[in-house]
Amino acid sequence: MPHVDIKCFPRELNDDEKTALAKDITAVIVRHLQSKESSVSVALNEIQPAEWKAVWDAEIAPQMDTLIKKPGYSM
């Protein structure tokens, strides 16, 4: 713990870019949550634009009051 689960539209990231993304996110988590680097895991899940409403309905809208960064869009 902690686990970061990133959901985004498909991107064409190569393995080096994915590794750099995970490294940057891990550094932020370590700095702000005082976690050990070995405790952090990061997932990157690419969601097709046509399927994004399911993410909104299941994960964003129900948690709107507790999100620490709210989206600048609505559905």
Catalytic residues: 2
**Please, what's the b/e burial string for 48-60 (b: 16 or more CB within 10 A of its CB; e: otherwise)?**
eeeeeeeeeeeeb
Q: How many CA atoms does the CB half-sphere of 33 hold within 13 Å?
A: 15
